[in-house]
Structure 1
């Protein structure tokens, strides 16, 4: 009787759903499932979608019931001194967070702003330009420098090849090979991961030998903790490739959507440009206080991330039979957490399909609580680099709007191709920049 009742309470399944419909148009089916079925719906037997703010938040916070799959993109190399233990991984995470928390990011804004300003300065004017490669390069320079400071220039080429290895590895394929099969993509990943590790190892050893560990994220990882002592070299080396790519991969997808919105909403871009006029003429003189003053710019970034979360779908697996939003989730079921539809939950965000940055600001006409925001996740597996990503994107937006007016290319062809397989992206996005005249005055 219990099993029968459990099956009766399984999530509803909208007509015409399934993997074939999902592969044709993921976003449309995600919206339809949320609209027709509510909090949780079933894509296929054993595959459920958490579709609203409450159900998504519950899955991400209940890590014991819905653990993250243990499948790191850059697993430990065979040549290292064994995979890091769970305790060492927890220690490495805590050490990284000392360098990535909001206070640490605010203290180093002057190291982030020059890269954002350089991206805007390098943008060719009065011709259509493919945006994402230049944005990725700029964000990679900023992110890798934040992690490794003066050692960043030597490591940046290896970081770029790590990103390429990731792109090759996650391309759609007809076959899902077991993780132990050495496919060409996995062999390529291993070669690039080995090259990055080989370049990073002498940096680690030099810093340890000299005692000058540095104030960057790597320096925080090399500092011994009072509880665990120093991290083994292997744990440092094996846990850094993933965070290195993460500093610029999802932010690049977000940057594409932000720049597109600057082009489509010139009034909002003008407000950002007005705020950017308060930034110092020397970007290296930018401080956390300057960043705090970019209130509308930050609100615009958050609103774009609400509408188009770069990681629009997160995967969890039910560790045991459990309940979610009055539905029974069977043990072993895959649960897809969908921030894209959660952010369009009208109970959380009035008029959810409208682009309205003001919803994130305090003041007349703005809600006191702007609603759930899951673009960086939540719970124990929330994005480590959320504060860094927001600082990078806010400064990139301010410097770009302060220097240029953006527009989409004329003609019937769309400016980009929407991709949803690995993340929500504006593939091939092309925009045109026209210099703002007169240039906004800068405080000196």
Structure 2
């Protein structure tokens, strides 16, 4: 007999059903079981706003596991110390904070404008590859400024290595086994760091560190001094890919909604018409004036958070929503269902960008908006991602009416394994008169 305070399970719930349709099972779990439910023994789902917020803020009880995608490379010189890693993270965060992003809007806007300008018109186009390329140019340039052209091809290979590594497989190989995907990942990490190392040394020897994210990481800290080269190198592959991989997933959903909601798209276009004719003249004040566009982006991210499921592991026996969670248990935090909590959002399944205009402070309320996470491990690139996505949305809607291809075939396939994505999304752009 199970414990009385054990989270409920779905009738006939199992990993088999979960694997077939994760979104449907997640919705059923939230609707039928409530705030926290059990997928199988030792695996729990935080399904609504309150428990999701609690797990993400209680980092000591539910820590974020180190990313397995780009683990530190083994080197003869030894791995950076925890203190050095902490310093590297803090330096990186300074380069991604909202005020730093705001000061560089004039660098971001021209590339979103170029993406829109180069969209082939009056034909069905698989749009995510060019979106990814445009956002990669923005993200890599934000991190590395004038050295971005050198590093962009290596960043593209890092992304490819990530995609190969996270493809669904019948077998869960132990992490110590050097599978072909893991060997390819390591090769690309080595190639990236080999390309970045001389850039770091050149900047340090010349004294021109730069005011980009890399430059901030190279500046000596009053407390820690000079950050070792290996600590800089280890921390950058993952964030380099993250600057464009997750925003690309988000952009797919946003462009799809511009196609499906033409009145909303027209409202974005009217707002975007007030942007400067020269994209390089765009400032944070212009970005801040795109109230409805930002609301539309936020609403799409509410309905389809690109990181729709976050994994945490309990370090000790603890309580969550009045249930006992044993040490070692896995807790899946589900922003997808939390954002559909009717206690937090009226008509939660409806696409209503206006809800963010009616209460502009609501994204900061606990549990209401979790697309970038929250707490100690919230997405450090949230400000950059919102700037990229808002400008991309505005520039695209200003130029085009978007539509889905005619015919019985869907314009995309929903992928849920490593995020919520519109795989193969095809759209048609017609010049807006």
1:211 is the counterpart of 2:207: yes
* Contact 1:143/1:247 (8 A) holds in 2: yes
Give the SS at the match of 2:396: helix
- 2: CA distance, partners of 1:137 / 1:70: 27
What's 1:432 paired with?
428
Q: What is the CA-CA distance between 1:7 and the residue it aligns to?
A: 2.1
2:82 to 81, 86, 103: 86
Q: What is the CA-CA distance between 1:80 and the residue it aligns to?
A: 6.0
- 1: CA distance, partners of 2:159 / 2:377: 21
Q: What's the CA shift string for 1:233-263, capped at 9, x where partnerless?
A: 0000010000000000000000000000000
Deviates more, 1:385-394 or 1:84-93: 84-93
* Contact 1:49/1:338 (8 A) holds in 2: yes
Q: What's the CA shift string for 1:254-300, capped at 9, x where partnerless?
A: 00000000000000000100111111111111100000001100000
Q: What is the CA-CA distance between 1:368 and the residue it aligns to?
A: 6.2
What's 2:104 paired with?
108
Q: What is the CA-CA distance between 1:367 and the residue it aligns to?
A: 7.8
**Residues matched between the structures, number:** 430
- 2: CA distance, partners of 1:369 / 1:79: 46
1:329 is the counterpart of 2:325: yes
2:37 to 34, 38, 41: 41
* Contact 1:80/1:234 (8 A) holds in 2: no
Q: What is the CA-CA distance between 1:71 and the residue it aligns to?
A: 3.7
1:67 to 52, 57, 63: 63
What's 1:27 paired with?
23
Unaligned regions of 5+ residues in structure 1, if any? 438-444
What's 1:293 paired with?
289
Q: What is the CA-CA distance between 1:88 and the residue it aligns to?
A: 1.1
Q: What is the CA-CA distance between 1:97 and the residue it aligns to?
A: 1.0
1:166-315 pair list within 5 angstroms: 166-315=162-311
What's 2:47 paired with?
51
2:362 to 361, 369, 391: 369
- 2: CA distance, partners of 1:422 / 1:203: 32
* Contact 1:313/1:338 (8 A) holds in 2: yes
Q: What's the CA shift string for 1:119-171, capped at 9, x where partnerless?
A: 10010000000010010000000000000000000100000000000000011
What's 2:144 paired with?
148
Give the SS at the match of 1:332: coil
1:410 is the counterpart of 2:403: no
- 2: CA distance, partners of 1:412 / 1:193: 42
Give the SS at the match of 1:12: coil
- 1: CA distance, partners of 2:221 / 2:124: 51
1:423 is the counterpart of 2:416: no
1:353 is the counterpart of 2:346: no
Using structure 2 for the length normalisation, give the TM-score: 0.98
- 2: CA distance, partners of 1:289 / 1:51: 37
Deviates more, 1:79-88 or 1:392-401: 79-88
Give the SS at the match of 2:39: strand
Give the SS at the match of 2:362: coil
Unaligned regions of 5+ residues in structure 2, if any? none
Give the SS at the match of 1:361: helix
1:317 is the counterpart of 2:308: no
What's 1:441 paired with?
none
What's 2:337 paired with?
341
What's 1:96 paired with?
92
* Contact 1:306/1:373 (8 A) holds in 2: yes
Q: What's the CA shift string for 1:368-420, capped at 9, x where partnerless?
A: 63661000000111001000000000000000000111000011111100000
- 2: CA distance, partners of 1:83 / 1:47: 33
Give the SS at the match of 2:427: strand
Give the SS at the match of 2:288: helix
What's 1:440 paired with?
none
Using structure 1 for the length normalisation, give the TM-score: 0.95
Give the SS at the match of 1:48: strand
